[in-house]
Chains A and B, each alone.
Chain A
Amino acid sequence: MRNTIIRTLIELAEKDSSIMLLTGDLGYAVLEPFREKYPKQFCNIGIAEQNMAGVAAGLALEGKKVFFYSIGNFPTLRCMEQIRYDICYHNLNVKIIAVGSGYAYGPLGASHHTTEDLGMLRTIPNLIVAAPGDPIEVDAIARYLVQTNKPAYIRINKAGERTIHKSNVIMTGDDIFKIIKGQGTAVLTTGAMLEYTNNFILEHKTNWSLYSVPFLNNVDEQSLASILKSHARIITIEEHQLNSGFGSMVLERVNELYVLNKITKMPYIHRVGINNEFISTAGTQEFLRKKAGIILDQFL
């Protein structure tokens, strides 16, 4: 995913010299192609995320389209107030790219577990919050975001993910993508849980439906209502705390649909995610997901 976003940015920057890429001194063996091709549109700010967010806001005030890049909690939690006030209050064209979602950097320890970002960021007005599920979604989100003037957060997993979508997609900002058509049960995923869920359904031949939901700030109500109406059981799965994450967002939207009479029956919704805890042991992403209980086996 991280190579895809840089590849797409390189392509977009070719036609648009106002695109700038900043980094907080991370991106070794990832960002070099951009830096080599567009040295004047690249800046390594240093290990100073508060400054990076502020500088990004300043560049955007002068009409630049700024992407800034770092790992996990550093370009988000570390500079949350700069994101809220300098970038989002002023509604500036700054896109935050964080790699290492969830337990992607599992063995590095809890400092590198990015498991609260979505909940914190999705409360901020004006901010588009996006968690693409595979490299095709990453590419489509980058193309969508470069055409919007709004601030955005893009949550990237790591490198080497499989492509799940069968063909390219176009994002419109509130998309729900049908990946597998089944019946009875629908699993809604966000971010990198798409690959795990896709594999789980195929391996276990469950006949469940699978939907990828990459935006956490805005969801197509009609598509959601139609999924709710056509399935008896809904499961949400995310590599994030259950508190105020993706599943919470779905519950909020479902409640609104019910209150507004757009659905007449409250659906049966199971949420899978992290149950309000830190993990203090090492482990691969797969191991830590299991340890945190981010699995679907209990629904078989």
Chain B
Amino acid sequence: MNNLKEISKQIRIKCLEICHKHKASHLGGAFSVADILTVLYFDFLKVDAKKPKWEERDRLFYSKGHACTALYSALEIKGFYEGLKENFTINDSVFTSHVNNKVPGIELSTGSLGHALAVSCGVAMAGKIDNKNWNVVTIVSDGELNEGSNWEAILFAPHHKLDNLILIVDYNKIQSFGSIKEVLNLDSLTDKFKAFNWNTIEIDGHNFTEIKNSLQKSSEFKNSKPTAIIANTIKGKGVSFMENQLSWHYKSPNDKELDLAISEIQNP
């Protein structure tokens, strides 16, 4: 667990440095999902950084493509590539600020919300048809559950018994222009997934043990239902002045904010 804690700190610091250097956005959503990505890449997913297209790998689909810094950073720490901070969004770089499948380890380019879940249903369906053992894990944001396309896929997955599919909702309660409650309320999200015939697990999305246990349990259910992990998270988690602040969906840190944020992360 100490190791995971250290990795999650590294991910957040990389995100900060990237957003500071390139005046990039979406730190809030990157920090809410950082601990989930830490557990996925360093304690759950079967992936090989040297062989990103390894046939037997688990497939991760990242629908909240705007929070790219967290995923790009996790993959860099995992060893998929080097040079992220220098190359992020510079001319002719593959590191666009919504995740790009031209980057090793990224399964699908996203950025338009409500796309990856349907695609991951197709991948999970192919896995079932071909009797594959790998898992499909899909991460969506809470705000993008406004998109009707997600609910088409949420109906589809249990109907086709896609129990090789794990959906993680990064439920940080703040979307692009207001809180979830103000904009389009999702309560009770767990009940909604239950009503759509999914297995559901509600966790603290910043507790490594709960994240790990929920993933383990999801992969063991095998009861002809997909599993939705509703991960209660905090937008901007880890830096006091960013937590639960809509503004950090957009802002990039100045020099002073960068130093302060890094010191808070290193010495919580």
A-B contacts at CB below 8 angstroms, number: 86
Q: Does A46 reach chain B (CB closer than 8 Å)?
A: yes
Contact between chains at A40 and B156 (CB < 8 Å): no
Chain B residues contacting A50 (CB-CB under 8 Å) are: 114, 118, 148-149, 152
Interface size on B, residues (CB 8 A): 28
Distance of A57 from chain B, by nearest CB (Å): 5
CB of A56 within 8 A of CB of B112, answer no
CB pair B123–A59 under 8 Å, yes or no, is yes
Query: Nearest B residue to A82 by beta-carbon distance?
Result: B115
Q: Is B126 in contact with A90, judged by CB distance below 8 angstroms?
A: no
Choice from B101, B126, B149 contacting A59 with Cβ under 8 Å: B126
A214 to B108, CA, bound (A): 32
- Is B243 engaged at the interface, CB distance under 8 Å to the other chain? no
| Alpha-carbon distance between A135 and B109 when the two chains are bound, in angstroms | 37
Contacts of A46 in B (CB 8 A): 152, 155-156, 159
Nearest chain B CB to A208 CB, angstrom units: 47
Q: Would you call B122 and A58 a contact (CB within 8 A)?
A: yes
Which A residues between 28 and 79 are near B, CB-CB below 8 angstroms? 40, 43, 45-46, 48, 50-51, 53-64
Question: In chain B, what residue has the closest Cβ to A51?
Answer: B152
Give the secondary structure class of B's interface. Answer: helix
A200 contacts B by Cβ under 8 Å: no
Taking the nearest CB of chain B, how far is it from the CB of A90, in angstroms? 7
Residue A14 CB within 8 A of the other chain:
no
Contact with A along B105-142 (1 / 0, CB 8 A): 00111001011011111111111011000000000000
Q: Does A25 contact B (CB under 8 A)?
A: no
What B residues does A61 contact at CB under 8 A? 107-108, 119, 122-123, 126
CA distance A64 to B106 in the complex (A): 20
Chain A: CB-nearest residue to B120: A58
Q: How far is the CB of B144 from chain A (nearest CB, A)?
A: 13
Instruction: Tell me the bound Cα distance from A40 to B101 in angstroms.
Output: 29
Cβ of B39 within 8 Å of any chain A Cβ, yes or no, is no
Residue A175 lies at the interface, judged by CB distance under 8 Å to chain B: no
Q: Is B229 an interface residue (CB 8 A)?
A: no
Query: In the docked arrangement, what's the CA distance between A155 and B117, Å?
Result: 28
A51 vs B160: C-alpha distance when bound (angstroms): 13
* Nearest CB of A to B197, in Å: 14
For the complex, give the distance between the alpha carbons of A57 and B112 in Å.
15
Across the interface, do B126 and A81 meet the contact criterion of CB distance under 8 Å?
no
CA distance A62 to B148 in the complex (A): 25
B30 within 8 A of A: no
B115–chain A nearest beta-carbon distance, Å: 6
The reply to whether A55 and B156 form a contact with Cβ atoms under 8 Å apart is: yes
Q: B108, B109, B129, B153: which contacts A51 (Cβ < 8 A)?
A: B153
Task: Provide the residues of chain B in CB contact with A81, threshold 8 Å.
Answer: 112, 115
Q: Quick check: B126 and A63 within 8 Å, CB to CB?
A: yes
Query: Are A58 and B152 also in contact (CB < 8 A) when A50-B118, A85-B115, A90-B101 are?
Result: no
Q: Could you jot down 17 A-B contacts, CB within 8 Å?
A: A46-B156, A48-B155, A51-B118, A51-B153, A54-B118, A54-B122, A54-B149, A54-B153, A57-B122, A58-B121, A58-B123, A58-B126, A60-B122, A63-B126, A82-B115, A85-B112, A86-B118
Residues of B within 8 A of A (CB): 101, 107-109, 112, 114-115, 117-127, 129-130, 148-149, 152-153, 155-156, 159-160
Residue positions of A touching B, CB distance < 8 A: 40, 43, 45-46, 48, 50-51, 53-64, 81-82, 85-86, 89-90
The 8 closest A-B pairs by CB, nearest first: A58-B122, A54-B118, A62-B126, A51-B152, A48-B152, A55-B122, A58-B123, A50-B149
If A40-B129, A50-B149 are given as contacts, then 17 extra A-B residue pairs at C-beta distance below 8 Å, sorted by A number, are A46-B156, A50-B118, A54-B117, A54-B149, A54-B153, A55-B118, A55-B121, A55-B125, A58-B121, A58-B123, A59-B125, A59-B126, A60-B122, A61-B122, A63-B126, A85-B112, A90-B101
